[in-house]
Homo-oligomer: A and B are copies of this chain.
Amino acid sequence: MISSIAELIADRIGTMPAGERRAAQTLVASYPMIGLKTVAEFSAAAGVSSPTILRFVSRLGFQNYPEFQSSLQDELAAQLQSPATRTLIAPSPGGGTAPPMLEATLDNMRETFKHLSDRQLADIAGRLADRRGKTFLIGGRFTDPLARYMAAHLAVIQSDVFHLAGQESMWRDRLIDMGKRDVLVIFDIRRYQESLARFAEKAHQRGVQIVLFTDQWLSPIARFARHVIAGRTAVPSAWDSSAALFVVAETLIGAVTRQLEAEGARRIREMEDLR
């Protein structure tokens, strides 16, 4: 049963030539607003010519463009009248691979934040925003990208942010630069990496404040950590999900940014100038 134009597009996008597919993607990307504008605007947004747009709506089964627009408007009207219908993500029963995966991920996030108090987040953000020391970030085999992501953002708003990459010997030697005013952010989920644990222990001995992102079973590093963020990772997949930790990371980035607003704004402006 196809009830919306969006579904219609999803159903037929596979059979469309490149140009029309771009039209379809553009429409879906900001659905349905672009479809309400003129053919010229639509074609410009999609980067194709007007006739391609018309062929596109024709392939969807409409006689002409106005008829297509009317259909979109009717759909919109129905949607607006019953806000309840906006039950995002149609609980499509047949559901392929995506829905259960997404549902599990959303649940993970809710659970993760449920066990994470505002105060704890504020504490950590405060620690990261405290500019008397340096910030080091490192992750495991699959979580290192999260460390990179966080480092990329933090480095924009403050100095002395370092992502520890490369071979173990490389970052192990950076220990001498670390002291009790510094913060070490570690990402470590199953299967926990010994090398990280060794590193964390040594850093801890030097008085470094450790912020640990781990899963709900807690990496052994937790015993050395000052702050532990335990994210849910279970999803119906062969892999664990780091999405919840990713969102916590983004939240922290946002909080730190807010705290460093004044200084951060100046830094960003300077950076822009340097380009």
Q: Give me the interface of A with B, judged by CB distance under 8 Å.
A: 6-7, 10-11, 13-14, 18, 21-22, 25-26, 28-31, 33, 36-37, 47, 73, 76-77, 80, 83, 86, 88-90, 95-99, 101-102, 105-107, 109-111, 113-123, 125, 141-142, 144-146, 148-149, 152-153, 216-218, 222-223, 226, 228, 230, 235-239, 241-243, 246-247, 250-251, 253-255, 257-258, 264
Top 6 A-B pairs, shortest CB-CB distance = A96-B118, A10-B117, A237-B254, A145-B145, A145-B149, A29-B230
Determine the residue in chain B with the shortest Cβ distance to A246: B246
Residues from chain B with Cβ under 8 Å of A95 in the complex = 118
- Are the CB atoms of A238 and B250 closer together than 8 Å? no
Chain B proximity of A123: nearest CB distance (Å): 6
Contact of A97 among B102, B111, B122 (CB under 8 A): B122
Chain B proximity of A238: nearest CB distance (Å): 5
Determine the residue in chain B with the shortest Cβ distance to A88: B110
User: Complex formed: what's the CA distance from A254 to B234 in Å?
Assistant: 12
Chain B proximity of A256: nearest CB distance (Å): 10
Contact of A230 among B28, B118, B142, B264 (CB under 8 A): B28
